[in-house]
Amino acid sequence: MDETYRSYADLPALAGICSFRDAANPGLSVETCVKRLKRYHYAFKRLHEIFTAHLTSEPIYELKMGFSLHAYLCAEHTAALRTRIGEMREPPLGLDRIPDPNLEVYFDEIIAAPSTEERLLGLYDSAVPALMKALEQHIADTNPLADHPSLRLCKFALLELREMNEYGAKSLAALVTPEQRAQAQGWQRFLRTLLNAAGNLAGSDQQDLTSAPQRQYSAEPYTYDPTPKRDTRFPDPYNMGVNAEAFLYDESFAPEPKTLMMFYKRLREIDVPEMMASIIIETKGKPWDYYRDMTRQLWDEARHAMMGEVGFVALGVDWRSVMVNFTWSLALNTQLPPIERHAVLYYIEQGLMPKSGKRFEWEVALASNNPLSGLFQDYDWADEVLHAKIGRDWYVSEMGDPKKAVEYGDKCWSKVLMGWSDWKQQGLTEHRNWWPDLYRQACKQWNVSPDERVLSYDTSYETIRADLRDISASA
């Protein structure tokens, strides 16, 4: 290496990427680089599957939201890696092939983990740190000039993996006791054995097992659970006692109390990720862009739910007094096949596009003089326009005709049955009208007296119209 060589006026050489010394190190060949990238791709793809598959049945709300984000991030990095691999003399890409049988068992074990605590250990104590280590190793091993496009992908992925890892560490500290860690030690050792045998996620220094790995939790293949579950802060998820839409669209009521209903509608959107996860997991054989776009929408809907949560917290109102139901996701997940669920989703989204839909909600939010509500509805509206496009790209294109797509969605939605009276007879709910308590809470924070007409608004189960499309559409 010529140490006397200098760039003009000592400007940063090589576009500031690296030193001449680093650029002169050979690094990874294209063949080796591609082999590693395929392993990272497989890891991100399997992590996306695990986060999505357990979102519906995970009862803890914060984990649902975390899984929604992490599934989306993994979908994006999977897509980026697919593009990069396709740039490196690799057609056909062979990205559906499993790069190592030990990795297959490794991720199968995590998705099949029987408890939330063990799943968190598998995800955040093993898989995410292992993938971080592999990307860090790639950055250290590859030539930073020749392989700069891969280096850039690794750096961006590491930024978000570190955020995922931080979230996971805090979740483990909050939810997994020392006793539970001790009980899971044997299984965690098994995961480490599988990783070591595979040469870790980077695939270097592979070790042959003396025999094929004997599966533990994945001895029984994982089966997706479509039934949504909620934690104890959702005491009555079958409650359909409040017709939020009827109140919101009643022109005789002022915008301020309507903002409460819109925060409720946003928080209620927890059930959209619960339902969309079922479509993504149960729909096979689509291009990866389908899964990326659908997971983006899933994450947007989770964001909307958190907007409702933030709205209540900002008002000083306890959202736990609101009966946030899961009846929509429960009904669609258990009564319709995936394509019909997607049809219903698209049908509902089309109803949000006219002026009486998302624009109306935004205008109400602005009129309520609640800047946060106005901001949230502004972004909620923008997101729904994107979601309508996703529906056109992936659902309408399959149906072949926009009119036929809407009609089919209407037909599928009409098939969905809500067992209101059955749930009540079984003692699962009283369909209690929680609106007066919520409104009183808000009036205390606003330091105003409740409007008696608003307070007495009749939302009781018995008087709600039987048109389920008006009262239970959550998207």
Query: How far is residue 139's CA from residue 144's CA, in Å, rounded to a whole number?
Result: 8
Query: pLDDT (tens digit, 9 = 90+) per residue, 184-240?
Result: 999 999 999 999 999 999 997 666 555 667 899 999 999 999 999 999 999 999 998
The residues near 426 (Cβ < 8 Å, ≥ 6 apart) are: none
Cβ pair 171, 65 in contact under 8 A:
no
Burial classification of residue 447, based on how many CB atoms lie within 10 Å of its CB (0-12 exposed, 13-18 middle, 19 or more buried) = exposed
Average pLDDT, the chain: 92
pTM above 0.85, yes or no: yes
* CA 434 to each of CA 88, 324, 381: distance values in angstroms, whole numbers, following the listed order: 59, 10, 27
User: For the segment 371-396, what is each residue's pLDDT rounded down to a tens digit?
Assistant: 999 999 999 999 999 999 999 999 99
User: What is the arithmetic mean of pLDDT over 75-96?
Assistant: 93
**Which of 465, 471, 336, 466 shows the shortest CA–CA distance to 411?**
336
Element (H, E) at 171: helix 148-175
Cα-only R_g, the chain? 25
C-alpha span between 110 and 194 (Å, rounded): 12
User: Is pLDDT above 90 for 459?
Assistant: no
Helices (H), 91-231: 101-111, 116-122, 128-141, 148-175, 178-183, 185-197
DSSP, collapsed to helix, strand or coil, labels residue 437 as helix
Rounded Cα–Cα distance for residues 406 and 369 (Å): 36
How many Å apart are CA 374 and CA 465, to the nearest integer?
Answer: 29
**Cα–Cα distance, 270 to 322 (Å, whole number):** 13
Judge whether residue 475 has pLDDT over 60.
no
Where does the pLDDT of residue 457 fall: very low under 50, low under 70, confident under 90, or very high at 90 and above? confident
Look at 87-101, 168-182, 221-235 and tell me which has the smallest mean pLDDT. 87-101
Lowest-confidence pick of 1-10, 53-62, 168-177, 378-387:
1-10
Mean pLDDT, residues 239-250 taken together:
88
Other Cβ atoms within 10 Å of 183 Cβ, number: 13
Integer angstrom CA distances of residue 265 from 271, 286, 305, 444: 11, 31, 8, 21
CA distance 202 to 444: 58
Question: At residue 47, does pLDDT exceed 50?
Answer: yes
On whether the CB atoms of residues 113 and 119 are closer than 8 A, the answer is: yes
Tell me how far apart the alpha carbons of residues 405 and 398 are, in angstroms, rounded to a whole number.
9
